[in-house]
Chain A
Amino acid sequence: MDRPLRLIPTDSLDRLARTLEALLVVASAPLPVEELAAVADDDPERVEAALRLVSERFAEERSGIVLEYVAGGWAFRASREEATACARLFERPAQRNLSQAALETLALVAYLGPCSRPDIARVRGVAADSAVSNLLERGLIAEAGRDNGAGGVVRYRTTPLFERVFGLESLSELPRLDDVGADAAEIRDRLNTVAERRSA
């Protein structure tokens, strides 16, 4: 960095914090630091420092509003303590009554990245059409181009709403699922035993 060192006066940081609060309360989607910096017309580093101030102010058990990092950006939400009151006023159609089929489909889209209905059907063994349109309607997945460019089947990816609903900072927060290798070996053995018995 060739920028000269300079002291950051706290009162101006406080000013920036207030600007950020205003932006965050108006926004309906999480705002990344870069975007906040561009809109507030300030340095990303100073924005991060100011965000620390804001998150001290808006923290669980301190305020009814909580600042959180979710879905790749910063956003306000209601504090968990106030969930009961919020639930009396608001519906959450995105996550209400998600069926097992929808959750499995959602998991596949989240883990496989952009993938098509046939991709999902191949793993689940049943057609994915209704689960996919259900998730589309809820806004948890969205179209993400087509296989082999135009003319191919439509592929789907999860939306920022998905990350928000599930409280994920990003998709990389999904747990790794490669500890099922033992299962694969066991299934293979059982299949082989059956095959041997049949040929015998």
Chain B
Amino acid sequence: MSRIVLVTGVAGSFAALVARRLADLGEDAGIGKVVGIDTILPDGDLGGVKFVRADIRTPVVGKVIAVEDVDTVVHLDVNPPQRGRAGGKELNVIGTMQLLAACQRSSTVGKLVLGSSAAVYGSSPRDPAMFKESLLARSGVRSGFPKDIVEVESYARGFSRRRPDVIITTIRAAQVLHPQIDTPLRNYFTNPILPSVLGFDPRLQFLALDDALEIFAQSVVHDRPGTFNAAGDGVVMLSQAARRLGKPLLPLPPFGFAAAARRLVRAMGSDIPPDLHRLLTFGRAVDTSALREIFGFELTRTSEQTFEDFRRSVRPGLMAVLGGRT
């Protein structure tokens, strides 16, 4: 029996790639059909993915699941909103609610893969150095995207309670750093000047695109119930990252940093979500031993290597000559 996979949010750059990867795996990996769903048309070519234009915030998604006989749901593109806070929350939280409600009704759905985020751990000075899957956020999940993602995960837990027969894989991924993938940190690092918080140097982790795609493909093809952190090994300090890029850091006072940084980044023609400032203040790192030992996936790139790959693809910054890296 080959799987019929539903991928949400395929208009997003990362979800589109996951959907394509699944479609490319095809029958050999036991994937019969991949259905992509989103409210807007995808930019790129989706390949063998069947695209359905529907809004997961409405009960229509239940009909899509019933019509296509979907048995595996990959819920992706739970992303920090780029445009306005309210819209993002609607999509992330209400969309997840509706989707899970439809899954609960469906008799065919047997697997849910949730593309969560390491943001679920929040970011605060009381954080342990490395978050394990069993730890809860200490602080920093009161608002914005981290709050959304915590709610999304709590709905997924509720769903698992009501449908214990469904295999649920939750991937808490660090931000993918790749020039083609639209993530907040990529947008941040493409600026010529990087606003930073005065007196703080956060530890950051990145996930390589290939690793991320492979993790999602494996969770669809194999049964890997549980929650897993996914991030490249090791950490990169923000100061180190800026020096590698050859871009100057602009330290701004912590008080009012969020607004000032956002204004500055917008002036440079880019945008960052307002809740990135906590990550840029305290940083965050996750422990990936569960991914290695229980999930059975060996990450191929460390955070540092992922960052190096990214650095090679962007133009060297203003101060690149100082470090002799042009």
Q: Do A and B bind each other?
A: no
